[in-house]
């Protein structure tokens, strides 16, 4: 994982996984945040190949241990934080999911969920709580939480929730990448090529487009060719799907 969370110093800790404190050892920004990584048989830490991480924000050791065991079995990177503000300082928008309490030490879990959303992140959130307060659960779910689990929870319950969250996160990121790709391809067009594209989308043939724009058919053909080239589409059907996808995204964003 390439982020500020990668600067760590080794601490002695009686566990199969060494705990590593987050932050520069000379000027630590996060003083209560720990990172857990799997270890080789010789005790040396190894980098996890999976891209996604589980971020756990709570001081409950029982749930943390269950998460650690799940992460070890599934070979997923796990980062643990005692406070919401510590997590917010360290979080760089990386892929994964957040597991947290409805009541944490320095803010409510719902407030943490809202702060993450304000950062522009769609990080999925799972709540594991010993305090099932109705109004907080309703707010959490309305804000898009994957689920709310009541402590004590089993490792299977945790994994089911985390697994669903990671799948949701992958889908979010795939869709964001698609939107960015479509936007990039369409912004390559200049104003004259966009005029041709708009008339193509209305089903007009080259002759009609030429008359509408008061240019030659050869000019229309040249601009049409550049439209296909710049949008990296091979057929009119592909081009239509690209434009309709872009229009749908604009419509969703304005809702």
Model confidence pLDDT, tens digit, residues 141-182: 999 999 999 999 999 999 999 999 999 999 999 988 888 999
- DSSP 3-state assignment of 198? helix
Q: 126 near 165, Cβ under 8 Å?
A: yes
**H or E stretch at 121:** none
Tally Cβ neighbours within 10 Å of residue 242.
18
* Residue 13, phi then psi, degrees to nearest 5: -155, 130
pLDDT tens, position by position, 106-131: 899 999 999 999 999 999 999 999 98
CATH topology of domain 4-175: Rossmann fold (3.40.50)
- Residue 152, preceding bond cis, omega within 30 degrees? yes
In sequence order, which residues have a C-beta less than 8 Å from that of residue 252 and are 6 or more positions away?
A: none
CATH topology for the 188-254 domain: Arc Repressor Mutant, subunit A (1.10.10)
Q: Please indicate, yes or no, whether the overall pTM of this predicted structure exceeds 0.75.
A: no
Question: Where along the chain do its domains lie?
Answer: 4-175, 188-254
What's the token pair of residue 126? 């799972």
């Amino acid at each position: 994982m390439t982020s500020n969370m990668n600067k760590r110093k080794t601490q002695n800790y009686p566990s199969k996984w060494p705990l590593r404190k987050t932050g520069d050892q000379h000027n630590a920004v996060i003083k209560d945040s720990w990172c857990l990584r799997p270890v080789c048989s010789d005790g040396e830490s190894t980098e996890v190949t999976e891209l996604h991480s589980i971020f756990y924000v709570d001081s409950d050791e029982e749930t943390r241990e269950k998460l650690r065991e799940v992460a070890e079995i599934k070979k997923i990177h796990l980062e643990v934080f005692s406070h919401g503000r510590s997590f917010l300082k360290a979080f760089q928008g990386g892929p994964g999911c957040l597991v947290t309490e409805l009541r944490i030490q320095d803010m409510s879990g719902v407030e943490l969920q809202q702060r993450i959303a304000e950062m522009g992140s769609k990080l999925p959130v799972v709540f594991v709580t010993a305090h099932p307060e109705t109004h907080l659960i309703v707010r959490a779910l309305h804000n898009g939480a994957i689920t709310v689990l009541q402590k004590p929870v089993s490792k299977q319950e945790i994994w089911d929730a985390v697994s669903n969250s990671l799948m949701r996160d992958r889908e979010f990121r795939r869709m964001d990448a698609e939107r960015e790709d479509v936007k990039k391809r369409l912004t390559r067009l200049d104003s004259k090529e966009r005029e041709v594209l708009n008339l193509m989308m209305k089903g007009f043939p080259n002759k009609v487009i030429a008359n509408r724009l008061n240019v030659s058919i050869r000019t229309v053909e040249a601009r049409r060719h550049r439209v296909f080239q710049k949008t990296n589409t091979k057929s009119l059907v592909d081009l239509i799907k690209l434009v309709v996808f872009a229009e749908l995204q604009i419509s969703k964003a304005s809702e």
